[in-house]
């Protein structure tokens, strides 16, 4: 129950940030907003202040800003949701740097000191010796000083049952596994990726600048990852197994929260960047799709038929809903 509550809080912050961006830019642009909604209907309750109704709905996976009939959404209004999600990520990362943020030793700013360096698992391949024995992302490998030391140890024990000690949530445990002699390409002998991670704490004046740089770098990385995912999906080289839905994010949120508040800040920032990148995709019902329609109208010199555009966006929304249900179904199967 705690995991679900924490997830809903995180989701609420992300949705509110995105929709508030649309809302405030519309208001500042002189565009009338009839409704600012958190979640999708059925409606739980609402109140009205001025010309705008503020509603809270039952389905928490989204929200919307309803522009008054007869008024047109503009590109700045549509882009504002994406911008505010990136702004949220920047603020969270900057604050994280100020209080102490988990950072890879290899990506630390010049001259910055990283304390409490640990060897942390940053990815676990499914159906590998590591996943079969229960190792998870975020586990700390103990007994070694460098990632290279762990790699050399595993390399010397291929085909031999080996014990590895790790720390999770403050508790030290150990597992026994057998490193593969001939692992699939790119997976490694036991199927994990590791990094040396420590706590980087910066001054109040340096934290925003480094936060901005990290936000930019993460945005580029996420955008490239999304691009190559869709390219490989179209080519039939990948499926939905690498995509995490609401159920998966609940578990991930709980795992990250147990690692500490600063880890949770990083996770929420990354989710916010993902939300921004996905929303800018030129697909019907997403902000990017609506911006594409504005560009088409500008090129053709006349508005697109309202009935046609609404139908296309509704179909797009239905397809996105089906995709979410499929991903959620896969998340549930992983838990069974």
- Cα–Cα distances in angstroms (integers) from residue 152 to residues 24, 163, 218, in the given order: 55, 14, 30
Tokens 């249900």, residue? 325
Question: Is 187 assigned a catalytic role?
Answer: no
In angstroms, how far is the first alpha carbon of the chain from the final one?
Answer: 18
Question: Rounded distance, CA 46 to CA 222, Å?
Answer: 36
Helix or strand or coil: residue 152? helix
The distance from CA 48 to its chain's CA centroid, rounded to whole angstroms, is 33
Cβ count within 10 A of residue 47: 9
- Residues 6 or more apart whose CB falls under 8 angstroms from that of 73 comprise 26, 31, 67, 290, 294
Q: Which of 55, 79, 67 is nearest to 87 (CA)?
A: 79
- Residues 6 or more apart whose CB falls under 8 angstroms from that of 31 comprise 67, 68, 71, 72, 73, 74, 77
Tokens 């912050």, residue? 13
Element (H, E) at 103: strand 101-104
Helix or strand or coil: residue 64? strand
Q: Of 19, 35, 161, 163, which is the active-site residue?
A: 19
- Residues 6 or more apart whose CB falls under 8 angstroms from that of 82 comprise 18, 21, 276, 279, 280, 287
Question: Rounded distance, CA 229 to CA 63, Å?
Answer: 26
Residues classed as catalytic:
19
């Amino acid at each position: 129950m705690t995991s679900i509550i924490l997830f809903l809080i995180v989701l609420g912050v992300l949705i509110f940030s995105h929709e508030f961006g649309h809302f405030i830019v519309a208001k500042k642009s002189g565009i009338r907003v009839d409704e600012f909604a958190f979640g999708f209907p059925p409606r739980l309750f609402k109140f009205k202040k001025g010309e705008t109704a503020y509603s809270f709905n039952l389905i928490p996976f989204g929200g919307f800003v309803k522009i008054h009939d007869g008024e047109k959404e503009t590109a700045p209004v549509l882009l504002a949701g994406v911008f505010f999600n990136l702004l949220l990520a920047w603020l969270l990362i900057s604050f994280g740097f100020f209080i102490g943020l988990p950072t890879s030793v290899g990506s630390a700013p010049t001259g910055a000191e990283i304390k409490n360096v640990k060897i942390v698992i940053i990815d676990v391949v499914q159906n590998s010796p590591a996943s079969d024995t229960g190792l998870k992302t975020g586990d700390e490998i103990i007994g070694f000083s460098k990632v290279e030391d762990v790699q050399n140890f595993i390399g010397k024990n291929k085909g031999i049952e080996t014990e590895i000690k790790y720390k999770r949530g403050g508790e030290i445990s150990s597992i026994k596994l057998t490193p593969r002699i001939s692992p699939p390409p790119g997976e490694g002998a036991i199927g994990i990726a590791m990094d040396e991670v420590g706590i980087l704490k910066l001054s109040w004046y340096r934290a925003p600048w480094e936060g901005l740089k990290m936000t930019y770098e993460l945005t580029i990385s996420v955008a490239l990852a999304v691009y190559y995912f869709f390219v490989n999906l179209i080519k039939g080289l990948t499926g939905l197994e690498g995509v995490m839905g609401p159920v998966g994010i609940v578990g991930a949120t709980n795992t990250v929260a147990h690692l500490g508040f600063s880890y949770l800040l990083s996770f929420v920032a990354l989710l916010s960047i993902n939300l921004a990148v996905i929303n800018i995709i030129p697909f019907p019902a997403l902000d990017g799709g609506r911006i594409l329609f504005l560009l088409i109208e500008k090129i053709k010199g006349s508005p697109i038929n309202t009935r046609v555009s609404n139908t296309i966006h509704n179909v797009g929304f239905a397809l996105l809903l089906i995709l979410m249900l499929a991903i959620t179904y896969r998340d549930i199967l992983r838990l069974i």
